[in-house]
Chains A and B, each alone.
Chain A
Amino acid sequence: MNEKIRNEQGMTLIEVIVSMLIGVTVIAAAFTALTTTQKANRANGMVVETQQNIRVAMDLISGDIKNAGFGSSGIVGNCNAVVGGTTQVAPIVPADKTVGGNDNGPDSISMIVPSTGSSPAWTLANDTAIGFNQITLQVGAAAAMSAAGLTPGVNNNDLISIGGLSSVRVLSIAGDTLTLGSTVAAPARFLVNTPVYLMQCVTYQVIQAPDVNNVCGGTAPCLVRGVTTAASPRQCNVAGSPCIPIVDGIEDLQIAYACDGCNNAINGGAPNGIIDDQGTIDNTFNDADWVSNNTWTADPFFTANKIRLAKVGLVARQTQKDLGIGESMQSAQVSSGTVNVSMNNDHVIAIAGTETGFRRRTLVRAIQTRNVGLW
């Protein structure tokens, strides 16, 4: 055996070179497959994430637009608009980026919406009397409501809704008992486990760079939602704002509104279940009847409490630049150009320079404002 090995002449140089060539070729192919797979996987993941983000953002915003108002009355947070010549509370407060001109950025929207907690449940611990000015909540619920922003006796931050029917201010909190600012008159009575909602004025806004509070965690733009106390125009991108990030990669938010009873030239300014014409009165419901450029303060008709439909347009993009799936580290997927939210709004995103290299998704949906009717 040993002798045989000693007598072995081994491979010739040519053989070694050819075998190495074949080996290198095979390994190179395998590595290319590996890196391509990895990059495709990454691109795939980011596209999935982008689609998920825009879907979630649309669901959250449309959910709150449907709830906006919540049959409430009284001052809630900062949701004020000029209605009937005076500044008063409004269920929806539009905030167009540039009123009366083409937008150069995303809109924002503020709404009065209910919030509730599940652990402990924000519910009544026992039946109320018939006509009452005190309620007792489940153990710990009052503390949880305080933590969420309920401030007794402080206008704008002390409104609750009992069962979605009675909205009252809270005067003071002792333990789990809330003393109300007014008596809920007889025959109103609520049974144990009736949910109690904290009414808040929340704002949705797209935070673009520079991100003052770094809420997007370095991946601006993102969509934030928060209870803002800053004066009009509502602003989440100011120092110390309590807004929290909810969806990554939302680049644009555009909202157009349709209203009923807001044009005094139609039906005497009374609502008739038909969206009012804007501009030319042509007795049709068309794109021109969606309002995107307005302050909603034309006394006493063209006001925010007349909004009956809201058309939300969203643009989402990848949170990180696309690197393509080829060998080079650059993507030719999305070059410069524009993204139109494809509604009758006035904002088109111009993609140039550092904005290239992101895949984008857009969604547009009309939403009925179901709960503003009582205002």
Chain B
Amino acid sequence: MVSDGNLFIVFCRYELMTKLKHTNGFTLIEGMIAAAMIAVGLLALSGMQANSLGRNVDAKDLTTVTNLAADMVERIEFNRKRVAAYSGINSANVTTKPSTAELMARGDYEQWAALLTSSGLSGVTGTVAVTLQDANPATSPTSLGRRLVTVTVSWSAVAQGTGTRTRTVSLSTVVAPE
């Protein structure tokens, strides 16, 4: 035990430094205080561990959520002729589900909502906003009818310390019906 030896040398030097009077080494109290100080230091170390693991969980959530948003973007890309049907949908509000006339959009809504639910994230909600970029193609035949599609997924992440914080990921793309 080299470390014990070092400790012993420290003891010897301590005695010399105090001019070798009636010194009887560390008191128990002193030793305990030293141990307590080191314990505080080690606690801080474990706090760093927790912090690092927490960041990892954040990274996992981000990967999952980005993937969920990309899923919806791909579905809208396929059904781009009827992109307007996705406007204003909210996975947490069934009244925003597209009507049965919008067969694909309705199916996408249902499947996406199920995917969000099964992702394991707490309080996860997905919304889609569709904004017309050009003149209304219904009245302007030359309009390209491009639409800005923004898919947003928000969820409750565990915050440092206590409580939760709401985090959000948005993917935007411009879709033009052919």
Give chain A's interface residues, CB within 8 Å of chain B.
4-5, 8, 11, 15-16, 18-20, 22-27, 29-30, 33, 36-37, 40-41, 44, 47-48, 51, 54-55, 58, 62, 273-275, 283-287, 289, 308-309, 342, 361, 363-368, 370
In the assembled complex, 13 residue pairs joining A and B whose CB atoms fall closer than 8 Å, in A order, are A4-B20, A19-B26, A24-B4, A37-B49, A48-B56, A48-B59, A283-B100, A284-B107, A342-B115, A342-B118, A361-B63, A365-B67, A366-B71
Residue B157 at the chain A interface, CB threshold 8 Å? no
Chain B, Cβ-Cβ closest to A16: B8
* Complex Cα–Cα for A5 and B13 (A): 12
Complex Cα distance, B81 from A39, in Å, reads: 53
* Chain A residues closer than 8 Å to B59, beta-carbon distance: 48, 51
Asked if B70 is at the interface (CB within 8 A of a chain A CB), the reply is: yes
- Contact, CB under 8 Å: B49 / A5: no
Which of B7, B32, B118 is the one whose CB lies under 8 Å from A19? B7
Measured between C-beta atoms, what is the minimum distance from B77 to chain A in Å?
Answer: 5
> Which residues in window 83-130 of B have CB below 8 A to A?
100, 103-104, 106-108, 110-111, 114-115, 118
Q: Which of B20, B42, B114 contacts A30 (CB 8 A)?
A: B42
Inter-chain CA distance A367–B78, complex, in Å, is 9
Cβ of B49: which chain A residues have Cβ within 8 Å of it? 36-37, 40
What CA separation (Å) do A51 and B64 show in the bound complex?
10
In contact, B78 and A286 (Cβ under 8 angstroms) = no
Smallest distance from the beta carbon of A95 to chain B beta carbons, Å?
A: 22
CB neighbours (8 Å) of B7 from chain A are: 19-20, 23
Q: Size of chain B's interface in residues, with CB distance under 8 A? A: 49
* Chain B residues within an 8 Å CB radius of A23: 3-4, 7
Whether A51 and B25, one on each chain, are in contact in the complex, defined by CB atoms closer than 8 angstroms, is no
- Given A40-B49, A368-B78, do A363 and B104 touch, yes or no (CB 8 Å)? no
- Least distance between B31 CB and chain A CB atoms (Å): 4
Q: Is the CB of B25 within 8 A of A19?
A: yes
B residues in contact with A8, CB < 8 Å: 15, 20
Given contacts A22-B34, A275-B104, A368-B77, 17 further A-B contacts (CB under 8 A): A8-B15, A11-B11, A15-B24, A20-B4, A22-B31, A26-B34, A29-B39, A33-B42, A51-B56, A275-B107, A285-B104, A285-B108, A365-B67, A365-B71, A366-B75, A368-B78, A370-B77
A27–B39 Cα distance when bound, in Å, is 11
Partner of B45, one of A33, A285, A361: A33
Please report the C-alpha to C-alpha distance between residue A48 and residue B39 in the assembled complex, in whole angstroms.
29
Complex formed: what's the CA distance from A285 to B106 in Å? 7
Question: B35 on the interface (CB 8 Å rule)?
Answer: yes
